[in-house]
């Protein structure tokens, strides 16, 4: 595995790793208050027949923190910087949670270089939150970020989830810089996935958990090429909770995109 870096449009250092020397190029994009290590159980299953790039978005992991505006469009520029640095003419974007929104925004920036987008528990419906709803979700974190973030994370796991995994993720995510975390969360909550879908002509795939209903029919009406899989008895961090099943579904999904 190679550790590499580039600079985003605003000059922030973006760290990423590369694993695998042959096959189609993939970029794995982590979610809110996470980093590239959240893909640690996924990368080995892909690197034998893909070139796998795992990014740390600005303000996360080993990437720089000297950014002013923590928004989905700016995170998309981080992905574009990696693609430009590596001179990738064709790439598939795999994004978890907020990283899925980043993937959708990056696909618009990159145009014909993106072969497809895989959203990992990102899209469930086209509902756009009101400012009142955004403020209600964010209020506990603005009052006490550590406790509010922990409570938020606990709510993303089903009853019976591995307590050690739940606690490790809750501790990690709640330790992030709230000056970055809060505006990033707000940008994600306000992101209009429905509008993003209508601007794309590439295949979009979803791999979701079953903790909330998924309106796949609306997505099929908005996209030329859409499909989805739902994993059962699993929470938001499906690639860490049931890695073997997730990896199998992801590999099958990528194979179905006929990337070679």
Confidence (pLDDT) at 129: 87
List the chain residues with pLDDT less than 70.
259-260
| Contact by Cβ (8 Å): 199, 108 | yes
List, in order, residues 6 or more apart from 77 with CB less than 8 Å away: 8, 9, 10, 109
Q: What is the pLDDT of residue 32?
A: 98
Q: What is the reported pTM?
A: 0.97
The per-residue pLDDT for 1 is: 73
The angle that helices 98-110 and 178-190 make with each other, rounded to 10 degrees, is 70
In contact, 119 and 103? CB cutoff 8 Å: yes
Q: CA 235 to CA 212: how far, in whole Å?
A: 10
pLDDT, the chain, mean? 95
- Distance, in Å, from the CA atom of 14 to the CA atom of 8, rounded to the nearest integer, reads 6
pLDDT at 81: 98
* SS3 category, 76: helix
What topology does CATH give the domain 2-127+191-256? Rossmann fold (3.40.50)
What is the signed CA dihedral for 171, 172, 178, 179, rounded to 10 degrees?
Answer: 170
Cα–Cα dist 30/176, whole Å = 14
Q: Give the pLDDT of residue 259.
A: 60
């Amino acid at each position: 595995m190679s550790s590499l870096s580039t600079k985003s449009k605003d000059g922030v250092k973006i760290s990423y790793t590369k694993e695998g020397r042959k096959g189609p190029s993939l970029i794995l994009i982590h979610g809110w208050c996470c980093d590239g290590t959240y893909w640690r159980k996924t990368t080995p299953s892909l690197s034998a027949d893909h070139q796998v790039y795992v990014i740390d978005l600005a303000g996360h992991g080993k990437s720089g923190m000297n950014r002013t505006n923590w928004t989905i469009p700016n995170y998309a520029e981080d992905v574009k910087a990696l693609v430009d640095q590596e001179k990738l003419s064709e790439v598939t974007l795999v994004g978890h949670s907020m990283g899925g929104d980043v993937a959708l925004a990056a696909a618009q920036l990159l145009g014909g270089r993106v072969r497809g987008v895989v959203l990992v528990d990102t899209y469930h419906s086209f509902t756009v939150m009101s400012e009142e709803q955004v403020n209600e979700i964010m209020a506990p974190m603005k009052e006490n970020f550590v406790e509010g973030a922990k409570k938020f994370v606990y709510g993303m796991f089903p009853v019976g989830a591995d307590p050690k995994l739940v606690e490790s993720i809750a501790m990690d995510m709640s330790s992030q810089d709230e000056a970055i975390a809060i505006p990033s969360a707000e940008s994600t909550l306000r992101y209009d996935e429905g509008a993003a879908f209508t601007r794309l002509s590439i295949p979009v795939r979803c791999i979701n958990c079953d903790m909330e209903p998924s309106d796949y029919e609306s997505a099929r009406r908005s996209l030329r090429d859409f499909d989805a899989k739902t994993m059962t008895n699993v929470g938001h961090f499906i690639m860490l909770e049931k890695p073997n099943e997730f990896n199998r579904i992801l590999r099958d999904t990528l194979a179905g995109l006929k990337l070679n």
